[in-house]
Chains A and B, each alone.
Chain A
């Protein structure tokens, strides 16, 4: 598994070279885009880290976790994952900020950290996607879209918890 990233890098860059892509120029072009993306999402990360940390310092987070415990206990969702799970369907950049916080507080390579990272990279911000896509074509009756997407999301969360628990403990 440690080899995944170096291998991907080597594979993609040499594939580009073989196909006659100007690897260096293209890389720089993409890196610039990456820089802009980071600058764009930074305010969200700052705001979310601030809000979650304030909520934690004031014990508000404990309160929310306590209220939701009957439900999360039933699905064996770790408490530390809750802030992230609550933000995930609502805002992608917000969830990214809370992901960073979750990773910092619990350790990047902890089980909770790995579960949160997995969920972040395997699911999308449902409400946003549905609003944007249907909004763009003026569909008003979305029928079973939201229900199916929410069930899929829930299945994804459960799968992430189960698979990561099996693979990383």
Chain B
């Protein structure tokens, strides 16, 4: 795990640089090269192209002629002037925060629950994994049927138990559609959160709990003072990975609401899709794509900093 890297380097005695033979250096670079080439080809190049594209007049014609004249800040100005951008940013923020909070809290609660040993725990955990196995588009299509206001199972159930006296307009009301999308995404994300957090919980030594019990800590205190701090590295990983996959959400929303009704579920992901593949203005689509990458990058930096601080703390 994370601790092995620093300790192993500590074991290697420092060697004078002059004694390194040139062939050894070549060999080292040879081992690194495949990864570097792969990263450059599949991550670096598309990223640079995307940024370049956001400054180009990139239309269907470009695919035939290969020429995309630079248009300065034209695309950026058009996108920043687009009233949809503000809405999409806000929806993306609400969607990401709402989804992460829901997925994480329920996932953590389930992980703690399954950490206790009881009969059929393994079976129940396996069943809870199912949403993870279903392709996102399939889940969205099924949920679209379940949430249908006239014939959907959810509304029928709510009305039967008298929790709602008239059908709830889950997907056709602009004030509810984003919430519905968040609820569906929480349902989809619970297994991932549960599995990783459960793994983290299993790593915490039993002795620590025994010691806490001997010191007279109650369940809440144990959770707050033992479980949470020891789980911190895992929590960071779960939240960062969750953030990365949630902020770029596209398939779920396309299949569930198509960005509607009245753009109430339009996110940065659907906006870049709409600009690039419906309006065929690839330059403007690239602007939104670049914004998405930039936002993710900011969080990636935070994540790396937090990790470095952790390493520093351990050494």
Specify whether A and B are partners. no
Interface residues of A (CB under 8 A from B): none
Interface residues of B (CB under 8 A from A): none
